[in-house]
Amino acid sequence: EDKVVQSPLSLVVHEGDTVTLNCSYEVTNFRSLLWYKQEKKAPTFLFMLTSSGIEKKSGRLSSILDKKELFSILNITATQTGDSAIYLCAGNQAAGNKLTFGGGTRVLVKP
């Protein structure tokens, strides 16, 4: 059975801090690892990672995948209160567009 595990479950930081979120996966016929941000409503897409060791960046967010050790990390630098959200990672199989999600990490950024 496919499984995606995220850690920590939650964390509280202050503005300006850096956070690192972890995601380990066991997905049959793995193709890609995705990160989503979920505020009050629907998840919104952040990154898709398919190759090991290649960092993807978008502003203060970056992510990297290790296909040998089966994990990914999401870094957020110089955090702002607007980064407060649940961050979800998901594994995608080679067949179709099916996603297996982790339980999410809840991030709270205090002013």
Q: Is residue 99 close enough to count as binding another protein by CB under 8 A? A: yes
The smaller minimum CB distance to another protein, of residues 29 and 111, is found at 29
Partners of 30 in beta bridges: 93
Give me the 52-81 binding string for another protein, x by CB under 8 A, dash otherwise.
Answer: ------------------------------
What residue type is assigned to position 35 of the chain? W
Residue selected from 8, 20, 94, 110 as contacting another protein according to rule CB under 8 A: 94
Please report, as residue ranges, which positions from 3 to 32 form the binding site for another protein (by CB under 8 A). 4, 6, 9, 31-32
For 15, other C-beta atoms within 10 Å of its C-beta total 13
Q: Which residue matches tokens 């999401």?
A: 74
Specify whether the CB–CB gap between 48 and 33 falls below 8 A: yes
Q: Quick one: CA torsion of 75, 8, 70, 47, rounded to 10 degrees?
A: -40
Q: Which residues are at the interface with another protein (CB under 8 A)?
A: 4, 6, 9, 31-32, 34, 41-45, 48, 50, 88, 90, 92, 94, 96-104
